[in-house]
Structure 1
């Protein structure tokens, strides 16, 4: 038997370190290790080293550490994925950028605009690629809707809607541990980015929030909110509504809609598949119960996009072109965060609140 040697034309994969081996971090780890040919997971950092070691053993990752600084100091690592708690996102991004690592950061990019400004400075000084985990952009139906907007299929956007209803059981046992503002900073921030993305070129101007603890009313006095409706105004006159609830009994429900002068486009569905059962009791369908079920491919595709951008920087290759602005960066992170912070203030006062710091000009003033 004679084998013929073949020189691979495939570029070297992007070598990535993961920070945070929790629920979302573990899913990202499996994507990097198993589902993205252009990337390889080489190290995992998490203070809970037993959890990190178990994940590493499952995926054949040789390097585990409790300290993210070890990833930043490793010359063999091209980039990091930050999937730890939100309060650490900004400083980890800064440290990674200063070490010359490209960064994929789960939302939010920071907890306030001053923190995010420091991230922007570090990223600009290092010249690295920084991307935020607004995965909804990568969902097939949301991307199709955005392409319709770009093609003029809906005309000028006039009314927009986005909603997130997390699956639940009618109670939230961990409500006491949920940081104040979470519904805006970590849940609705996805909706804010989707609305901004669906209304291209328009700056968000003001918000008015109605919010309450309807699932767990006993925690309201501690500042916990589990239900919110946000009315958002844009400089181009468009009116948007975003809503969220932490306990949808029927499953994970995420949808978006753009109504304009020439028509309407919708994205998202409440059923897991298009299959519907018809029986004596009526109609029924399976619904997704987890974010990694509803957005399985979107979570994977956003990391594949990240790897392509890192490789283009590393190897001098052309950056990927998706036909519409897709890859969410620091400007997108800032605009969504500015809306979330205005929502927190509006929920506190009950008044319409101006959005400050969303535009590039405001951020640099």
Structure 2
């Protein structure tokens, strides 16, 4: 019997993976999660129970052999992205690939070539582009409401400390990749240009247990640079800040400024006899960009069903990875790094 839906395999059953899975299972018409692939059986089985499906794999390759799988959502650790995405493309599965796209530019190109050869869709998971306020800001910039863009600043600070595997920069590419990939993409998007050069400085201020074995690890980073069209750039990233999840953007123009992002969990303010005011800070990225994730998944579905090109492509993923590499090189060698054309 011919099925009336597109079957998706979730590859990587962590927090971000489950956000996508819930969306496709409940809120994306014409699509259904048919299986989960994760090498940790407990995670795979737990995801299946929540999604009310039965099929899971400990090896993603077996999932790709499943005829019920038409597309994959890849949310594995970054070091596996290239291997999994290339294999998925060869099996002619459409691909929604979470950021960072891959570990280096060479791997990004491998993915893009495999996708081109197979003719499948590839969308990179820069969900902030689908956030309502970000889209409104993009329209305002394009309409010239703040004149010409002069400077784009973006920050992302996460409340939780890094997982131990992230301490090895060679395996994780550090916070510039894991935390600030979204900031890099936002700067490219709002500036309408590509980076000309970057200079980054960083340090480890909170993860003291990592200092002996991984002296190069940093949990705080500042990356400044300039785009080819003259727009200035600034990124502020941090892990383990404790106070909450903080993501904000400022776009300064010749005739005005745009502020994006909120730190408030809700609009409630509590005041008491002490004279102090209390406002709840946002605790998780899952709350702040919940709607953006859904719109991102709906866009992927539309592109698959209507044979459209995703608005966030492999080129966007590749350019973000190039900036991560350049930033890490700048930190290591304490110098300005120019981007290759």
- 1:178 paired to 2:161: no
Structure 1: distance between partners of 2:168 and 2:262: 29
Please, what TM-score do these two structures have when normalized by structure 1?
Answer: 0.86
Aligned position for 1:139: 131
Aligned to 2:35: 43
What does the per-residue CA deviation read over 1:54-93, in whole Å, with 9 as the maximum and x for residues that have no partner? Answer: 2112211132111211222223322100011110001111
Say which of 192, 204, 211 aligns to 2:202: 211
- Within a 5 Å distance, the mapping from 1:157-172 to structure 2 comes to 157-168=149-160, 172=161
Question: What TM-score, normalized to structure 2?
Answer: 0.92
Q: Do the aligned partners of residues 77 and 242 (structure 1) sit closer, same or farther apart at CA in structure 2, a change above 3 Å counting? A: same
- Retained in 2: the 8 A contact 1:207–1:230? yes
TM-superposed CA distance for 1:38, in Å, is: 3.7
Per-residue deviation at 1:248? 2.5
Structure 1 residue 156 displacement after superposition: 1.4
Determine the C-alpha separation between the residues in 2 that align with 1:343 and 1:177.
Answer: 17
Change (3 A) 1:179 1:309: farther
* 1:337 alignment partner, one of 313, 316, 321: 321
Contact 2:157–2:179 (CA under 8 A) maintained in structure 1: no
- Give me the whole-angstrom Cα distance separating, in 2, the residues matched to 1:138 and 1:20: 22
| Deviation string, structure 1 residues 242-294 (Cα, Å, up to 9, x no partner) | 00111223210000111112211111011112222233342221122122112
Q: CA deviation at 1:127?
A: 1.1
- Structure 1 distance, partners of 2:287, 2:245, is 9
Aligned to 1:17: 9
Query: Higher mean Cα deviation, 69-78 or 173-182?
Result: 173-182
Q: Which runs of 5+ in 2 are unaligned?
A: none
Q: Which residue of 2 aligns with 1:255?
A: 248
Point out where structure 1 has 5 or more consecutive residues left out of the alignment.
1-10, 314-318, 321-325, 357-361
Could you tell me whether the CA contact under 8 Å between 2:179 and 2:238 is conserved in 1? Answer: no
**1:135-168 deviations in Å (ceiling 9; x for gaps):** 1112221121112112221221111100001014
Deviation at 1:218, TM superposition (A): 5.2
Corresponding residue of 1:349: 333
**Contact 1:176–1:219, Cα closer than 8 Å, also in 2:** no
Matches of 2:271 and 2:6, distance apart in 1: 48
Aligned residues: 333
Q: CA separation in 1, counterparts of 2:327 and 2:291?
A: 30
**In structure 1, distance between residues paired with 2:225 and 2:61:** 40
Provide the residue aligned with 1:8 in structure 2.
none
